[in-house]
């Protein structure tokens, strides 16, 4: 029996009859055959060969099976295959020619998508080579595949960490007891680390202490009581090691650091595991005397510390130039674990208990210290290495930095904006000059002078440590630097109600510096104080105890000090979200959260500065005045890519109830680059989410720690605090309306802040053609650079058209392309920190659009057409009728627009929460997306640094696609196209892989009768209502999948084996294979009880194993 739904799709019967006769003899169904286990080991490693699929492939005739014709199956197979042809023939001609027409403009590499679908990938002869290319290879390149920045895809940590400090016991240089207790605590943190496959090597363990001057007494003198000490990992090869030493000595001598000598660190290599031993560096310490002309305050030693810091970064450059530097896969590693006159780091690729066995110094009673920071590493997504063990140079970090890409981008922009001439970098000795270098000189983009400050090839911990270290070398004390980098959720915080100075501190620094956000416990020391702080969510454990003798113990959990007597403890506590403790290493004073933060915040009158300079834009009432009439509004919507679904589903839900439209998980429509429908550039980007250990934030229950507030204006230096840093425009919301745009404009008046502003149109003449977009992009970037150099602090990029005539004569640069291009161009010119960018656009209505714009640099968005659409929707007779009938909640026009904004804001918070980010200001510019189907010129122009594993459309293609969305004309009766991106639309809508007909075919193939269920009569029906399986129906199902339009990247791939297929008789029976299947542990928070039980029942029925979770 042929289903009526299939009959309705059949093409002309004459054609069907011809095809039917042609294929009749090849349609078969088979009886099961006998299987037996593989006969040898090789059979377990077989590859599958599959011939390249054609549009109407025949089903091969089995050689060893009983054949029987199934005419109903024949009819259904042909119907299924011809249904696709019918679908294609019904497409408008412009859609069919869309990709083909632009193919000549695309590169001809195997990953170019601008060719006819049936011809795609025909030229892919070497799959392994093709998969290493994102874009056509340039001369000399082996691969240009960019899978994403290392911290996003590889380097992450989840660890145990703590500190011990006692400044009152012992003599000037502390006691050995503090070190022993620290090593014991480190050993007790073993369960928080990880070890290698050899069972001995570790992901990493280490300590930071005061320099053990008694141990190094032979390198001290009256003229140099505290030299600079470097802990250096050198190559094992003696010749290479000597060459490295020579370079280090020469750089020190050039910078007036008198070299006092080398000390080979006593180690026991036999204590290492095989993996650690194979990669262990040669451990050495170096000693240098402070320059004679250094006007250094011995009390703080800041000048000497800055010189050591800058010389260390200079050494890295010289070693790299000499081919002696530490490269990613180089076993001969050269790495400075520390270089200071106050602190030293011993660390390695070992377990905690092995550290004192390997470093014999740690067993020496002369090793005394007033403090110790200990760290046991659990490396996530990467192989452990010696330099990646912690503590770093100033920080021990347990957690992840989820905003890292944005943080690094902004650090680069901030360094680029520094104005001190590069010549100043030649003098790394003079105290005043080194002070100016760290505060005013670009220390990122001078690779011939200093090692770059940040680098996405390093781990998140290493980058955080680098920025934190630079801030401590400026005029920030360590607690101040950490308060700025990892701020608490100060708004509406009850514990800060009586300390407005702390709130003012966070308001001031929050405008200058985006938070390094993510779950983290940070232990730190700059040699002057030691402390610990939690992230704003408090997602890592941190407890502390204080004993009678003044010792402060801070640890990830209690019980790590085996001999600690409970009777000796005078105070206990735990760090809450965003809280900090600190110990002054000179006075020994313990400072709790409020005391240390109040002390830091009271150093400057932040409240006064904010009252004078900061301008606030609160949420204002929405305008009810229409921007366009209905005909022009509909034409504008079509021009900007809106479809009927966007209004009927998204706008209705967002404006009507203040919530996003709820969809099912998954998307069965083709990805944008393979779609036959026009798409906005947003659809080529996929949001990346946290992949590691941290839980997502709950934006509903944890909203107190989240914020969508943003700023506009020039951001002053974070290294040099001054009153000018308070002069910013603070936005309560990144979604602006007309009144708020006018409010911002009013700040341009001299008496109201004098925030100079400019509006740059992103529209260009339609007559310029697709290639005109490149010229238009250059024009807006040049104008933005010129304006900012002339003092403009707010740049508004606008695609608004005055009326219908302008819409008809011009097109626009898609806002994502425009804002990304301007953002990156300003970074290149060192001007990005001098201005804020507002995107005024008609092409932003869903939360994904806003996330893309902000993620690529926009400070705020004015969605004028979305608000205009809300007005149009609210005023329509259909909406008013639904409100009167009770189908929609009655709202005023102002309430509807407020609802829309609330929905966007909550949607942004939801996106942030999945990445483990709390602040939209940290998400800005973070570019946490992956591009699928965008070409090299698009990435290089607007999306620099974005992960892109395949090539795709060019800027000219995007311009053509933008114009394709335009309606033919404006009229009162005109309607938007229903593209069917979300819900299938017969005939003209987007193709969807999961159709009802396809589901029916699969159900029939496996014998599922959906009319039978536990709620009806399943238990009373034979075999629980499951019908006999149908091989013929499964062949129909498979055939329909093979002949379907391309929808995903995997549809472009075929297996290409280098061996013959394995005989089916050599394959294990299905029953044996299924025994290896199991369901993973999933919490009830992730899946419902019904889903758990269904999975358990199913996997047990097939002979597998279930996990309760």
Give catalytic residue positions.
Answer: 159
Burial letters for 721-746: b for 16+ Cβ neighbours within 10 Å, e otherwise? bebebbbbbbbbbbbbbbebbebbee
Residue bearing tokens 């005391």: 595
- Quick one: which of 874, 792, 873, 794 has its CA closest to 839? 794
Contact in structure between 7 and 13 (CB atoms under 8 Å): no
Distance CA 35, CA 194 (A): 43
Would you tell me how many other CB atoms lie within 10 Å of the CB of residue 1107?
A: 13
Q: Which 3-state string (H, E, C) describes 87-110? A: HHHCCCHHHHCHHHHCHHHCCCCC
> Sign of dihedral through CA atoms 1033, 1035, 1041, 1044?
negative
Distance CA 195, CA 193 (A): 7
Contact in structure between 468 and 485 (CB atoms under 8 Å): yes
Contact in structure between 771 and 813 (CB atoms under 8 Å): no
Distance CA 176, CA 210 (A): 11
- Is the previous residue joined to 391 through a cis bond, with omega within 30 degrees of 0? yes
Give 730's contacts (C-beta < 8 A, 6+ positions apart): 511, 614, 615, 616, 617, 709, 710, 711
Contact in structure between 1028 and 1034 (CB atoms under 8 Å): no
Would you tell me how many other CB atoms lie within 10 Å of the CB of residue 803?
A: 12
* Phi, psi of 1050, rounded to the nearest 5 degrees: -65, -25
* Phi, psi of 99, rounded to the nearest 5 degrees: -75, -40
- Quick one: which of 691, 1086, 683 has its CA closest to 915? 691
Would you tell me how many other CB atoms lie within 10 Å of the CB of residue 675?
A: 22
Distance CA 1078, CA 298 (A): 65
Is residue 1067 exposed (0-12), middle (13-18) or buried (19+ Cβ within 10 Å)? middle
Is residue 495 exposed (0-12), middle (13-18) or buried (19+ Cβ within 10 Å)? middle
Give 999's contacts (C-beta < 8 A, 6+ positions apart): none
- Quick one: which of 11, 28, 102, 10 has its CA closest to 64? 28
> Sign of dihedral through CA atoms 714, 715, 719, 722?
positive
Q: Could you tell me how far CA 299 lies from the centroid of its own chain? A: 43
Q: Give the H/E segment covering residue 279.
A: helix 274-279
What's the chain's Rg over C-alpha atoms?
33
Give 1034's contacts (C-beta < 8 A, 6+ positions apart): 1005, 1006
Strands 258-264 and 395-399: unpaired
Report DSSP state, residue 648: I
Contact in structure between 591 and 584 (CB atoms under 8 Å): yes
Phi-psi region for residue 404, left (φ > 0), alpha (ψ -120 to 50) or beta?
alpha
CA dihedral of 323, 328, 329, 330, whole degrees rounded to 10: 30
């Amino acid at each position: 029996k042929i289903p009526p739904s299939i009959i309705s799709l059949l093409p002309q019967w004459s054609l069907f009859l011809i095809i039917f006769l042609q294929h009749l003899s090849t349609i078969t169904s088979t009886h099961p055959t006998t299987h037996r286990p593989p006969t040898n080991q090789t059979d377990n490693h077989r590859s599958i060969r599959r011939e390249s699929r054609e549009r109407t492939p025949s089903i091969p005739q089995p050689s060893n099976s009983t054949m029987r014709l199934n005419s109903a199956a024949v009819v259904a197979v042909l119907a299924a295959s011809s249904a696709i042809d019918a679908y294609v023939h019904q497409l408008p001609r412009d859609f069919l020619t869309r990709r083909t027409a632009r193919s000549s403009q695309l590169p001809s590499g195997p990953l170019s998508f601008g060719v006819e679908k049936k011809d795609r990938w025909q030229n892919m002869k070497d799959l392994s080579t093709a998969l290493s290319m994102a874009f056509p290879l340039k001369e000399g390149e082996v691969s240009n595949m960019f899978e994403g920045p290392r911290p996003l895809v590889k380097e992450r940590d989840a660890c145990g960490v703590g500190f011990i400090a006692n400044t009152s016991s012992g003599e000037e240089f502390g006691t050995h007891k503090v070190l022993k207790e620290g090593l014991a605590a480190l050993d007790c943190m073993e369960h928080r680390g990880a070890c290698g496959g050899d069972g001995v090597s570790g992901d990493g363990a280490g300590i930071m202490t005061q320099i053990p001057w008694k141990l190094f007494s032979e390198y001290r003198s009256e003229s140099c009581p505290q030299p600079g000490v470097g802990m250096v990992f050198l190559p094992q090869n003696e010749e290479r090691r000597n060459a490295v030493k020579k370079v280090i000595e020469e750089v020190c001598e050039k910078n007036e650091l008198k070299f006092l000598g080398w000390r080979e660190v006593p180690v026991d290599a036999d204590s290492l595991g095989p993996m650690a031993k194979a990669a262990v560096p040669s451990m050495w310490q170096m000693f240098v005397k402070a320059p004679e002309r250094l006007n250094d305050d011995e009390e703080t030693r800041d000048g000497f510390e800055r010189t050591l810091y800058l010389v260390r970064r200079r050494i890295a450059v010289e070693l790299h130039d000499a081919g002696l530097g530490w490269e990613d896969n180089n076993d001969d590693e050269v790495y400075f674990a520390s270089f200071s006159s106050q602190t030293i780091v011993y660390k390695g690729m070992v377990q905690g208990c092995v550290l004192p066995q390997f470093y014999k110094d740690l067993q020496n009673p002369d090793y005394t210290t007033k403090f110790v920071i200990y760290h046991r590493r659990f490396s996530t997504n990467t192989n452990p290495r010696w330099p990646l063990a912690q503590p770093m140079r100033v920080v021990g970090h347990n957690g992840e930095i989820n905003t890292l890409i944005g943080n690094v981008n902004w650090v680069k922009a901030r360094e680029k904006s520094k104005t001190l001439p590069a010549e100043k970098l030649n003098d790394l000795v003079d105290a005043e000059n080194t002070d100016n270098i760290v505060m005013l000189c670009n220390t990122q983009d001078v690779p011939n002078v200093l090692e770059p400050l940040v680098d996405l090839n390093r781990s998140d911990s290493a980058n955080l440590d680098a920025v934190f270290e630079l801030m401590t070398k400026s005029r920030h004390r360590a607690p101040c630097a950490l308060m700025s980098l990892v701020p608490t959720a100060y708004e509406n915080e009850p514990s800060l109600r009586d300390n407005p100075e702390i709130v003012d501190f966070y308001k001031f620094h929050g405008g200058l510096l985006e938070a390094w956000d993510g779950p983290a416990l940070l232990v730190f020391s700059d040699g002057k104080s030691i402390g610990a702080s939690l992230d704003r969510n408090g997602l890592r454990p941190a407890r502390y105890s204080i004993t009678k003798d003044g010792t402060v113990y801070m640890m990830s959990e209690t019980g790590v000090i085996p001999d600690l007597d409970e009777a000796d403890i005078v105070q206990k506590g735990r760090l809450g979200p965003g809280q900090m403790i600190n110990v002054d290493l000179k006075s020994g004073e313990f400072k709790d959260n409020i005391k240390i933060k109040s002390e830091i915040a009271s150093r400057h009158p932040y409240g006064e500065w904010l009252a004078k300079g900061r301008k606030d834009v609160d949420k204002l009432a929405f305008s009810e005045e229409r921007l366009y009439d209905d005909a022009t509004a509909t034409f504008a919507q079509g021009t900007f890519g809106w479809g009927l679904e966007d209004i009927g589903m998204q706008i209705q839900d967002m404006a009507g109830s203040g919530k996003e439209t709820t969809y099912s998980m998954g998307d069965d429509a083709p990805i944008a680059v393979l779609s036959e429908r026009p798409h906005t550039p947003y659809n080529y980007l996929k949001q990346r989410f946290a992949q590691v250990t941290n839980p997502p934030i709950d934006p509903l229950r944890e909203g107190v720690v989240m914020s969508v507030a943003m700023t506009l204006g020039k951001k002053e230096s974070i290294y040099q605090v001054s009153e000018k840093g308070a002069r910013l425009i603070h936005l309560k919301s990144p979604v602006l309306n007309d009144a708020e745009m006018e409010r911002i404009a009013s700040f341009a008046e001299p008496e109201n802040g004098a925030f100079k502003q400019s509006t740059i149109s992103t529209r260009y003449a339609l007559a310029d053609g697709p290639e005109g977009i490149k010229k238009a992009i250059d024009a807006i970037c040049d104008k933005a650079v010129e304006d900012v150099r002339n003092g403009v602090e707010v740049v508004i990029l606008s695609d608004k058209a005055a009326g219908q005539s302008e819409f008809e004569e011009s097109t626009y640069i898609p806002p994502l392309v425009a804002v990304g291009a301007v953002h990156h161009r300003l970074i290149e010119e060192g001007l990005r920190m001098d201005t804020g960018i507002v995107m005024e656009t008609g092409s932003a209505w869903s939360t994904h659009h806003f996330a893309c714009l902000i993620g690529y640099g926009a400070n705020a968005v004015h969605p004028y057409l979305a608000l205009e659409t809300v007005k149009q929707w609210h005023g329509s007779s259909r909406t008013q009728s639904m409100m009167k009938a009770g189908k929609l909640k009655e709202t005023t026009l102002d309430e509807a627009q407020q609802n829309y904004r609330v929905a966007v804001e909550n949607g942004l918070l939801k996106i942030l929460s999945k990445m483990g980010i709390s602040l939209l200001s940290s998400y800005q510019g973070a570019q946490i997306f992956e591009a699928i189907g965008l070409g090299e010129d698009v990435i290089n122009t607007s999306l620099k640094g974005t992960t892109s594993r395949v090539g795709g459309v060019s800027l000219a293609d995007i311009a053509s696609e933008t114009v394709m969305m335009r309606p033919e004309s404006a009229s009162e009766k005109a309607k938007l196209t229903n593209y069917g991106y979300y819900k299938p639309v017969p005939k003209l809508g987007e193709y969807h892989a999961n159709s009802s007909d396809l589901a029916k075919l699969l159900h029939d193939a496996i014998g599922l009768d959906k009319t039978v269920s536990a709620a009806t009569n399943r238990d009373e029906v034979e075999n629980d209502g499951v019908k006999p399986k149908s091989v013929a129906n499964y062949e129909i199902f498979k055939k329909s999948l093979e002949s379907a339009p391309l929808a995903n990247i995997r549809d472009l791939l075929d297996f290409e084996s280098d061996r013959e297929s394995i005989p089916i008789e050599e394959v294990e029976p299905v029953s044996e294979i299924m025994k290896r299947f199991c369901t993973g542990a999933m919490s009830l928070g992730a899946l419902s009880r019904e889903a758990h039980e269904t999975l358990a029942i199913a996997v047990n029925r097939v002979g597998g194993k279930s996990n309760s979770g």
